Amino acid sequence: MPTVPLFLHTVCRWIRRFTLLWITLLPTSGVLANDDAIAAIDWTLAETLVALDAPPAGVAQVDAYHAWVGEPELPDDVVDLGLRTQPNLERLSELDPSRILISPMFAGLTPKLSRIAEVETLDFYNGERELWDQLVALTHRLGDMVDQEAEADALIERTETRLERQRQTLSSTDDRPLLMIQLMDERHARVFGDHSLLQAVTDRLELENAWQGTTNAWGFSLVGLEDLMGIEARLVVIKPLPVGVKARLADSGLWQQLPSVKRDDVIWLDPVWTFGALPSAQRFADLLTEALEDADRA
Amino acid sequence: MLDIPYRLTPPRLCLIFSLFALGLAGLALQHASPLSTGLEALFAPDAGNATQLVLHYGWWPRLTIALLAGAGLGLAGVLMQQVLRNPLAAPTTLGVASGANLGLMVATLMAPWLFDFGREWVALAGGGLAMGLVFLLSWRRGLAPMVVVLAGLVVNLYAGALGMALLLFHQETLKGLLIWGAGSLSQSGWDGVGFLWPRLVVGAVLAAIMLRPLAILDLDDANARSLGVSLKSVRLAGLGLGVFLTACVVSVVGVIGFIGLAAPAIVRLSGARRLSQRLVWAPLLGALLLASTDLLLQRFSGALPTLIPTGATTAALGAPLLLWLIPRLGLHGGNPVSGQHAIMRRHPAPERLAMVLSGVLVLAAIMALMTGQGADGWQWLGPSQWSTLEWRLPRLLAAAGSGIMLAVAGTLIQRLTANPMASPEVLGISGGTAIALIGAMYFLPGASHLTMIGIGTLGALAVLGLLVLLNHRSGFLPERLLLTGVAVTALFDALRAIVLAGGDPRGQQVIAWLSGSTYYVDLTTAVIVAAGALLAALAARPFARWLDILPLGTPTARGLGIHIGQARLLLLGLVALLTACATLVVGPLSFVGLLAPHMARLMGFARGRSQLMGAALVGAVLMTIADWLGRQLLYPEELPAGLVASLVGGAYFMWGLRRL
């Protein structure tokens, strides 16, 4: 509808004026303006804020966050803002945060959200720069934003030292390349490669990723199991497994013939948020190191 | 009939496709290893050779399952088109696929232990339940084709809407099912083949046994009855078999689009008139079509970082094929439709009914504006909280406005085509808009609202252009128009399935928008939509006379002095405009456009003019209540209005069907 009749403009203007009148004349109710409250629509931003000891006041889909991101946990008093794709505007305006943080994926929400508070779009996973550098830059930026610069430096420092220590302990173990996958069903898997959080971690641990194929901007490629067949590597399967898949894998001829399954050296890792930032990276590194060491001892 | 010098008879067609498939298969084997080793891998693979293992456990079962699934769907398609006497009928028409899909989703989320019995059985149970519901709804009318198709359509929409809602909240958990929903033929062993082939053999034998009674359905109801055949039991058996076959295929490989519609249609077009011929050639052609597509796909999609599911691709490739076929279809506007008009009762005073509906609309609007949940639970807005209206008013206006637009568009298109399956969505205009907007979401991230509106309008116009281009020669014959729409909608469905199956996190945004939400509307847009809707409702009124006459058929209308081509073009343009506007606001799931005109008729708005008015009011009420309910039911999470509308409207619709 490119051309708008003039009278419609007038109608709109009047309705808006009345709305503005109500807003200015009548005392705003409920919660007082929260000067330092931050609402995070994106989970990756939320987990970083928690790690910076400046947890957001509101996060979208809190239950699902705990199911899929897990750690670091959100504080109990965090306000659930509803869906990530469509955060509840009435709830957000009640919360009255000073800033709303989103990732470019949700950029379509900016016009709506910016009427409640200043919207900051933080870019990561754009596939242009080395992912680790992007995540470090993201952590610095968030640290600046919530006046936790020192905490941000410490988080980066802590993560990098720890990964360095893990690299040294792992250098003595088996150096077979790894094939990191997440099963979608018994025939399909996401395999993680370039631009993925998982590879960013294995790069720092100086472990080799066996997947050399192309990946999308989030660092994975959706493949059928047959595409994994010819790759000589140790499988790392990130849980959770979809329901029923464990049983069906036992009957799957192709799965049983995968080199790693035949050798019975598949590593099953507890759930990790594969699109996360430094906290998720640390969690993945811990789980992987522990599993590799266990396997090595056995 | 195909009007080409060398007539393509069904055997010739099948020969061409089998040569094509054989060539592709040979190339693929050659590529992997010497041809002899490739054949050897079929029976005795070398356990130490990765290539042979992939061939044995992946490639060969995949080829086999493609042939089996294609044949099953082709057979099911013939059965359903025969029983329902509708060239648009496909194995998925009766809600089997969406029922199976919903069954799998619900089981995954709520009763994962069910998967211990095997996924096939969960899918079969879901598909069976959906089909049972369809039969239940149409039982009292003796399973009359029109009623079955309608019931199937609404059960489809209902299951689809519920599935969308689950997906919106549990995308992470259900991501694997998205691949299934897009129909991936990828195999990892022979168990799928082992499940499917005995069932297909049973189905084929049963179809052969039922050949004679089924052939009688070519006659109209009265003639068939005079031959002493129980139409109800023949239809039940025919449909039951078709559904069983579909459910078996769907439960193993997922939703495969288009084969079940295309194979029987192509076979019929190329000259297989008799049912026995079609029963032989359609499964064969279906098998070859699916296998060729799959082989082509395997050859060309290797380098992509995502998987292109075959089921969705057949739909995408089938769409242009159908578009090419449409001008060549020997359709004529006079096939016997069971008395849809006779069963509708007429309200003595539609004006009074309209007044009541308007009252309901006002009440609904007040409720939507003033009540709702906040941080402290339910509340009625006091004067101090009126600032909240800033969020509620645009949504109310947009919901009601788009409801009116879709209802008017739906009424026009159903009257225009005399086909109760018609809706703005079926015409493909929503689909065109949606294709353009999905493209914009992916290729122009963060584009402004205005850009999106422009792109969406372009999409709608492109489809409208296509509709006009393909149909102006035939004078906008309703059946052709609908088929064009079906093709575009299939293309859109395919695109959506491919996009979602890839698992790109941006898919969430697509799902949210596709479910039809008023969330993104700002006040200016909302006022424009509401005003535009009122203008459109008024603009449609002068056409009321056409709407009463056009459903009576071409000769009658011409006899009454109506310039048919012009009238259809004009109404079509109005429908396109209304649909495009509404789609841009609330997404393409315009179930309201289908339901509102029907609900208006069920209430007794029988004449064209009163149906327009009634449908507009019903549409507005439906969308207003749906938007409010959507915001409250799962607070603070929001269900899109389009989704709730289809759930509320669908329930009412089923109740009305049962009462017929």
Instruction: Give chain B's domains with CATH numbers.
Output: 10-325 (1.10.3470.10), 405-659 (1.10.3470.10)
> Which among B85, B80, B224 is positioned nearest to B146, based on CA atoms?
B85
Q: Would you say residue A19 has pLDDT above 80?
A: no
Kindly determine whether residue B375 and residue A230, on different chains, have CB atoms separated by under 8 Å.
no
Cβ neighbours of residue A183 closer than 8 Å, sequence gap 6 or more: A189, A237, A241, A242, A245, A249, B176
Q: How far is CA A102 from the centre of its chain?
A: 12
Q: Other CB atoms closer than 10 Å to residue A154's CB: what's the count?
A: 15
- CATH second-level architecture of A174-297? 3-Layer(aba) Sandwich (3.40)
The span from the CA of A101 to the CA of B519, in Å, is: 19
Total-model pTM: 0.79
Shortest distance, CA A165 to any CA of chain B (angstroms): 33
> Which among A13, A69, A7 is positioned nearest to A276, based on CA atoms?
A69
pLDDT at position B328 is 65
Cβ neighbours of residue B373 closer than 8 Å, sequence gap 6 or more: B379, B632, B635, B636
**pLDDT higher for B554 or B155?**
B155
> Which among B159, B619, B640, B193 is positioned nearest to B400, based on CA atoms?
B619
Q: Do B330 and B1 meet the contact criterion of CB atoms below 8 Å apart?
A: yes
pLDDT at position A205 is 87
Amino acid at A233: A
Over B25-46, what HEC string results?
Answer: HHHHHHHHCCHHHHHHHHHCCC
Q: Report residue B87's pLDDT band, with 50, 70 and 90 as the boundaries.
A: low
Average pLDDT, chain B: 80
Average pLDDT on A157-171 reads: 88
**How large a percentage of chain B has pLDDT more than 90?**
12
Q: Other CB atoms closer than 10 Å to residue B215's CB: what's the count?
A: 15
Q: Would you say residue A169 has pLDDT above 60?
A: yes
Cα dihedral B370/B371/B373/B379 (nearest 10): 90
pLDDT tens by residue, A81-97: 888 888 888 888 888 88
Q: Report residue B76's pLDDT band, with 50, 70 and 90 as the boundaries.
A: very high
- Radius of gyration (Cα) for chain A, nearest Å? 23
Average pLDDT on B424-448 reads: 77
Q: Which residue has the tokens 């709520």?
A: B110
B108 to chain A, any CB pair closer than 8 A? The answer is: yes
B509 to chain A, any CB pair closer than 8 A? The answer is: yes
Average pLDDT on A155-179 reads: 85
pLDDT at position A25 is 47
The span from the CA of A208 to the CA of A2, in Å, is: 54
A15 to chain B, any CB pair closer than 8 A? The answer is: yes
pLDDT at position A22 is 52
Average pLDDT on B532-545 reads: 84
pLDDT at position A17 is 61
pLDDT tens by residue, B409-432: 889 888 877 766 677 766 777 788
Structure tokens at B329: 């279809």
Backbone region of residue B639 per phi and psi (left: phi > 0; alpha: psi in -120 to 50; beta: other values): beta
The span from the CA of A144 to the CA of A169, in Å, is: 34
Q: Which residue has the tokens 């193993």?
A: B252
pLDDT at position A237 is 93
The span from the CA of B185 to the CA of B182, in Å, is: 10
Q: Other CB atoms closer than 10 Å to residue B34's CB: what's the count?
A: 10
Q: Do A62 and A43 meet the contact criterion of CB atoms below 8 Å apart?
A: no
Structure tokens at B77: 């398609």
Angle, in degrees to the nearest 10, between helices B389-417 and B591-603? 70
Average pLDDT on B134-161 reads: 76
Cβ neighbours of residue A172 closer than 8 Å, sequence gap 6 or more: none
Q: Residue B408: is it exposed, middle or buried by C-beta count within 10 angstroms (0-12/13-18/19+)?
A: buried
Q: Would you say residue B283 has pLDDT above 90?
A: yes
The span from the CA of B78 to the CA of B239, in Å, is: 10
> Which among B266, B283, B271, B268 is positioned nearest to B325, based on CA atoms?
B266
Q: Report residue A35's pLDDT band, with 50, 70 and 90 as the boundaries.
A: low
Q: Would you say residue B206 has pLDDT above 90?
A: yes
Kindly determine whether residue B188 and residue A186, on different chains, have CB atoms separated by under 8 Å.
yes
> Which among A220, A148, A217, A227 is positioned nearest to A187, based on CA atoms?
A227
DSSP reduced 3-state for B543: helix
Amino acid at B179: I
Q: Report residue B339's pLDDT band, with 50, 70 and 90 as the boundaries.
A: very low
Count of A-B CB contacts under 8 Å? 217
pLDDT tens by residue, B563-618: 777 787 788 778 877 887 887 777 776 578 888 888 888 888 888 888 899 999 99
Cβ neighbours of residue A34 closer than 8 Å, sequence gap 6 or more: A57, A95, A96, A97, A98
**pLDDT higher for B549 or A59?**
A59
pLDDT tens by residue, A104-153: 877 778 888 888 888 888 887 776 778 888 889 889 988 888 888 888 88
Average pLDDT on A45-63 reads: 88
Structure tokens at B292: 């060729």
Q: Which of A27, A86, A104 sits opposite B445 (nearest CB)?
A: A104
Average pLDDT on B270-290 reads: 89
Q: Would you say residue B96 has pLDDT above 90?
A: no
Q: Would you say residue A23 has pLDDT above 60?
A: no
Structure tokens at B503: 């698992």
> Which among B544, B548, B622 is positioned nearest to B582, based on CA atoms?
B622
Q: Which of A2, A81, A226 sits opposite B54 (nearest CB)?
A: A226
Average pLDDT on B636-648 reads: 82
**pLDDT higher for B65 or B525?**
B65
B56: which chain A residues are within 8 Å (Cβ-Cβ)? 253
> Which among A98, A101, A70, A97 is positioned nearest to A84, based on CA atoms?
A101
pLDDT at position B344 is 58
Residue of chain B minimizing CA distance to A219: B305
Report the range out of A23-32, A233-242, B178-187, B374-383 with the highest average pLDDT: A233-242
**How large a percentage of chain B has pLDDT more than 70?**
88
> Which among B399, B409, B404, B451 is positioned nearest to B430, based on CA atoms?
B409
The domain locations on chain A are: 174-297
Amino acid at B314: T
Average pLDDT on A55-68 reads: 87
Q: Would you say residue A18 has pLDDT above 70?
A: no
Average pLDDT on B141-169 reads: 77
Amino acid at B81: Q
Q: Report residue B400's pLDDT band, with 50, 70 and 90 as the boundaries.
A: very high
Residues of chain A numbered 104-133 and touching chain B (CB < 8 Å): 104-108, 110-112, 115, 121
Q: Do B472 and B447 meet the contact criterion of CB atoms below 8 Å apart?
A: no
**pLDDT higher for B386 or B165?**
B165
Average pLDDT on B614-636 reads: 89
Average pLDDT on A148-162 reads: 89
Q: Report residue A31's pLDDT band, with 50, 70 and 90 as the boundaries.
A: very low
Kindly determine whether residue A90 and residue B374, on different chains, have CB atoms separated by under 8 Å.
yes
Average pLDDT on B343-362 reads: 82
Q: Would you say residue B184 has pLDDT above 90?
A: no
A211: which chain B residues are within 8 Å (Cβ-Cβ)? none
pLDDT at position B236 is 84
pLDDT at position A1 is 36
Cα dihedral A152/A157/A162/A165 (nearest 10): 170
B172: which chain A residues are within 8 Å (Cβ-Cβ)? 64, 67-68
pLDDT at position B303 is 62
The span from the CA of A58 to the CA of B651, in Å, is: 36
User: Longest C-alpha distance within chain B, in Å?
Assistant: 83
Cβ neighbours of residue B573 closer than 8 Å, sequence gap 6 or more: B464
Kindly determine whether residue B636 and residue A216, on different chains, have CB atoms separated by under 8 Å.
no
A75 to chain B, any CB pair closer than 8 A? The answer is: no
Cβ neighbours of residue B652 closer than 8 Å, sequence gap 6 or more: B595, B599
pLDDT at position B287 is 94
